[in-house]
Amino acid sequence: MGDNKMTKERMGRQVTSSIAMTVVLVAFSMLFASLFLGYTVFRVTSDVWPPMGFERVDLFLPMVSTLLIALSSVSFWKFQTVFIKNGHGKKQWFSLTVFLGLAFMASQVFLWRSLHAKGIYVQDGIFPSIIYSFTWVHAAHVVLAWIALFYLVPTLKAGLNIEDYENRVFNIGKFWHFLGIVWLIMFITMFLL
């Protein structure tokens, strides 16, 4: 119990799992890259941006989202470090990640509601189409990742065999950070620029 030696078998499983996760992330990157390709086409072919008299989206809520998702990445990273060292505070960092993930989704809902309050609906043209669709697709992935977090509940037990659970912690962590990076790119290209 709590034995943390690196055997050849364990190394092999880690490498296998990370190769598979790399392929997964490449696939998801291509999904989002295609969306950004579409966005780029619309953006560079439009005379003014935002088009058709739309105003830019107020930056406050997207900034809150950015902060929340960045913090959740940090707290997941802390959870992972504690988990590997078999140290204390696993539960706190895990709960914080879950909470921050939930808070991010709430901030997205507020963003959509604030757009609705201004009378901007998804069917109003290409600009709202992009803002809504891209945040929807991203949010859908965050929901999946958030549900996947609960797959980590068994890792919260004290004194477990790290080797049995490490790969799922690494993989869900990578996906969680990946979604953070995607959001950051969305924040910069769609809201800031």
Partner 1 sequence: MAFYEQHIHDAPKTFLSKYIFSYDHKVIGKQFLWYGILFLGIGGLMALMIRWTLAFPGQAFPLIGNFLFPETGGVVPPDTYAMLFTMHGTIMIFYAITPILIGCFGNYLIPLMIGARDMAFPLLNMLSLHLAVLSAVLLMAGLFTPLGAAAGGWTSYPTLSTLIGSPGVGQTLWTLAIFVLGISSTMGAINYITTIITLRAPGMGYFDMPLSVWGLGLTAILNAIFLPVLGAGCLLLIFDRVFGTAFFLAGAAATTGTGDPVLFQHVFWIFGHPEVYILILPAWGIVSDLLSFFARKPAFGAKATALSMTTITILSTLVYGHHMYTTQMSPLLTQSFMTLTMTISIPSAIFFANWLGTIWKGSIRFHTPMLFSLGVVFVFGLGGLTGLYLATVTTDIYLHDTYFVVGHFHYTMAASVLLGGFAAIYFWMPKMFGVMLNEFWGKVHFWITMFGLNGVFMGMMVVGYAGMHRRLYNPFVYEFMERMIPINTFITWSAIIMGLSQIIFVVNFVYAVFFKKEKASTNPWEVGTLEWTIPSPAPHYNFKEIPIVKSGPHEYGNPKLTGDRDFQYQTEELV
What contacts 167, CB < 8 A, 6 or more positions away?
13, 14, 17
For residues 141 and 29, is the Cβ–Cβ distance under 8 A?
no
For residues 114 and 61, is the Cβ–Cβ distance under 8 A?
yes
Does position 103 bind partner 1 by CB under 8 A?
no
Rule CB under 8 A: choose which of 76, 83, 104, 127 binds partner 1.
Answer: 127
Task: Count residues binding partner 1 (CB under 8 A).
Answer: 39
Does position 123 bind partner 1 by CB under 8 A?
yes
Binding string, residues 37-76; x marks residues near partner 1 by CB under 8 A = xx--xx--xx----xx------------------------
Alpha helices in the chain, H assignment, sequence order? 8-45, 60-85, 90-117, 126-149, 162-186
Does position 125 bind partner 1 by CB under 8 A?
yes
DSSP category for residue 54: P
Q: How many Cβ atoms from other residues are within 10 Å of residue 113's Cβ? A: 11
Q: Name the one residue in this structure whose structure tokens are 């950015």.
A: 66
Considering the complex, what minimum distance in angstroms separates the CB of residue 113 from partner 1? 16
Does position 148 bind partner 1 by CB under 8 A?
no
For residues 52 and 125, is the Cβ–Cβ distance under 8 A?
yes
Q: Which stretch binds partner 1 (CB under 8 A): 22-30, 66-74, 105-113, 148-156?
A: 22-30
Rule CB under 8 A: choose which of 35, 70, 102, 103 binds partner 1.
Answer: 35
Query: Which two three-digit tokens encode residue 159?
Result: 């004194």
Does position 23 bind partner 1 by CB under 8 A?
yes
Does position 137 bind partner 1 by CB under 8 A?
yes
Does position 13 bind partner 1 by CB under 8 A?
yes
For residues 152 and 169, is the Cβ–Cβ distance under 8 A?
yes
Q: Which residues bind partner 1 (CB under 8 A)?
A: 8-9, 11-13, 15-16, 19-20, 23-24, 26-28, 30-35, 37-38, 41-42, 45-46, 51-52, 122-127, 129, 132-133, 136-137
